Amino acid sequence: MQAGDDVDPICGQGGARAREVLDLVSDKWSLYVVAALGQGPLRFSQARRVVVGISQRMLTVTLRRLVRDGLVSRTVVPTVPPQVTYALTETGHSLRLAVQPLIEWAFTTVEDIDAARATYDAQADEQT
């Protein structure tokens, strides 16, 4: 077998479209916003409080992109002032279900990763 013969399809030429979809949600904030909306619809100010650390601008950009890509719906309630509510679409809910194991993995392995980093850093310090 030659190098590259057993490449995962996502890494090969045929995976371009799948990589494009993965790029939609692999930025810093998209999964946090999807997780927050997984608890139910939120207004912008509520989402900003729930997603700790996100700026108003980044929340705006992230929500706009998620709405454009069909993962989040945006509903304007005609009141004075208008109320805007964001909610996961069916596709957004399917994404949330797909990444839930990854989120659980992150919580269960954070200490292992911290230990590995400490070991690596200690070895790097010894070599310098």
**C-beta separation of 66 from 34 below 8 A:** yes
pLDDT grade for 9, boundaries at 50, 70 and 90: confident
Look at 96 and 16; give whichever has higher pLDDT: 96
E strands present in the chain: 42-43, 72-77, 83-88
pLDDT for the residue numbered 21: 85
Please list, in sequence order, all residues whose beta carbon lies within 8 angstroms of the beta carbon of residue 114, skipping any fewer than 6 positions away.
Answer: none
Mean pLDDT of 43-72: 97
pLDDT grade for 1, boundaries at 50, 70 and 90: very low
DSSP 8-state symbol, 109: H
Mean pLDDT of 16-23: 86
pLDDT for the residue numbered 5: 59
Q: What is the CATH number of domain 9-127?
A: 1.10.10.10
pLDDT for the residue numbered 124: 86
Cα distance between residue 27 and residue 23, in whole Å? 7
Cα distance between residue 77 and residue 74, in whole Å? 10
Mean pLDDT of 23-48: 94
Q: Indicate yes or no: pTM above 0.85.
A: no
Mean pLDDT for the chain overall: 91
Please list, in sequence order, all residues whose beta carbon lies within 8 angstroms of the beta carbon of residue 96, skipping any fewer than 6 positions away.
Answer: 34, 35, 38, 88
